[in-house]
Amino acid sequence: MSFARTFLNDRLNSSDPEGIGLHVEQLMQAVAPEWSVPETLPHVRASNLCFGVPMNWALNDADRQQQVCRTLRYKLGQFEPRFSQVHEIKMQEDEAGNMVSFVIRADARMGDGEEGIELETRLSLFDQQVEEDSP
C-alpha cells in the first residue's frame, strides 16, 4: 500500500461516490498487520498503523465471512468518515476465479446532505488487489 496514494491523493478527498469508492478500495487492498492496540489509544487505532483490513481468507467458511464483514464494517467506521451509516456488506467468493466480491450499501455525506450509495469491488485472492473489471 502506498501511503501517499491512500492519504494524500486529492481524488480520495472528494465528496462524491467515485472518491469514496477509491478510498474504500484502498482500504480493502491494504492488508492490516493486526497490531493489538488497546481502546485507550483511540488516535493510534485511527492512524495508518491500523489502516487496512485483515483478509486471511477461509473459503466456504460462513463464520469467517461474517468475521471479515464485521471487521470491514468496523474499519469503514474508523477510516471512512464520509459514511454516516453502513447498511449492508455482502461478500461472495468465487473459488474458480480466485476472487472475492464485496457489495457495500451505505449512506454517505455529500455536500449539504446524505446520499445512499452502493459500492461493488472484486478482490483477487492471490494478491488482494482490486480487479480492473470491478464494477
* pLDDT tens readout for residues 9-20: 555 555 677 778
Q: Using one digit for the tens of pLDDT, what is the confidence trace for 58-78?
A: 556 778 888 888 888 988 888
Could you write out the DSSP letters of every residue in the chain? --HIIIII-GGGG-SSHHHHHHHHHHHHHSPP------TT-HHHHTSTTS-S------TT-HHHHHHHHHHHHHHHHHH-TTEEEEEEEEEEEETTTTEEEEEEEEEEEETTEEEEEEEEEEEETTT-PBPTT--
